[in-house]
Amino acid sequence: MGLKRLSILGSTGSVGTQTLDLVAENPDAYQICALIGGRNVKLLAEQARQFRPEITVISDETLLPALREALAGSNLAVAGGREAVLEAAGRKADWTMCAITGTIGLEPTLAAVRQGGAIAFACKESMVSAGDVFLREVEAAGATLLPVDSEHNAIMQAMADGNAKAVDKIVLTASGGPFLNHSLEEMRAVTREAALRHPVWSMGAKITIDSATMFNKGLEVIEAARLFNLPSEKIEVLVHPQSVIHGMVCYADGSVLAQLGSPDMRIPIAHALAWPQRLATQAPRLDLVQVAKLEFHAPDEQRFPALRLAREALTAGGGAPAVLNAANEIAVAAFLDRKIGFLDIAGIVESVMQSLGAPALPDLDAVLAIDAQARLAATNLAAAKAA
């Protein structure tokens, strides 16, 4: 059959680097078509020298000279900037990892979708913001979506029989983050450093903060509704601190199928990379005797209002999910810059949602327009709190 051609969008991020670790363990199976990184010149150059892609692109065009210098003498093709990112993302590949965090990943992800093939999907913000626009592109291109978020990948595996009509509900699990047992008063004093110390998963800064606020789970509820064509009331969230069960599907006959595994992103990445086959990984094996017990409880939407806001956005439809996502990105960035408090994140998102509502999103231009409006509104609110 030959080598499977891969492109990695967001190769220097957490998901991208773990994807390349799996490729390195199976060098005779895969050929890298394109690597696209953000600002980490050193790591992107190291990846390019190791995997020798057809094109290496850095999204920040001002760093292109530094990338060229780092790859001097390698005879590797390099490029930088938005147009180069879109060209590389749209190159024909059998399988593309889309792992550019935030709405900035929307256009490159759509470029990858349009060339068809299998799309491993780790940038939930694109699905949340673009919604129907995104899914229309997938259908038109005949692309195959392979969710990489551990929860959605778990649901995909538990629904492998294709009997979607018999599903009563699905259950997404949440670790609860580092502040699961904190009071509101304690959460008000949370620092950047404390919020970045996730008790279970190793992830990038933005998604780690989203886990701490539970906005990550809210975005996943919206993503699950899109991916599996389910209404909000058929998507349940349970806090499960051990992060052993990643997702469950409850069927009409009373059966519940759950996907279990160690909290290691290499497992869902490997599932998507080898789909419909399986790929051996070095991820730690699950030892249920050592785990000893599994706990579950309902999330507290008073202390973690993100879930309520996400469900409100999903129910409102239109541009409401895009507004929620964009406002959250700005608020998280402001918190990481120490400009606002931890609880201000949800407050800013709710205020922006109330002011912008749920406008219709007929096309990508409309998505980008409401995204920009929400970002501006959130930026102004964050600035006012920082003053």
Question: For residue 321, is the peptide bond before it cis, meaning its omega torsion is within 30 degrees of 0?
Answer: no
Q: Let me know: does 57 contact 100? Beta carbons within 8 Å.
A: no
Mean pLDDT in residue range 194-205:
75
Q: pLDDT band for position 200 (50/70/90)? A: low
**3 state SS of 289:** helix
* CA neighbor of 382 nearest in space, from 338, 324, 339, 318: 339
- The answer for residues whose C-beta is within 8 angstroms of residue 351's C-beta and 6 or more apart is 377, 381
| pTM metric for this prediction | 0.92
Q: Let me know: does 253 contact 171? Beta carbons within 8 Å.
A: no
Q: In whole angstroms, give the CA distance from residue 221 to residue 218.
A: 5
Q: pLDDT band for position 338 (50/70/90)? A: very high
Task: Give per-residue pLDDT as tens, 89-105.
Answer: 999 999 999 999 877 88
Task: Give per-residue pLDDT as tens, 285-317.
Answer: 999 999 999 999 999 999 999 999 999 999 999
Domains of the chain and CATH, by start: 4-147 (3.40.50.720), 150-263+285-302 (no CATH), 317-387 (1.10.1740.10)
Q: In whole angstroms, give the CA distance from residue 31 to residue 272.
A: 16
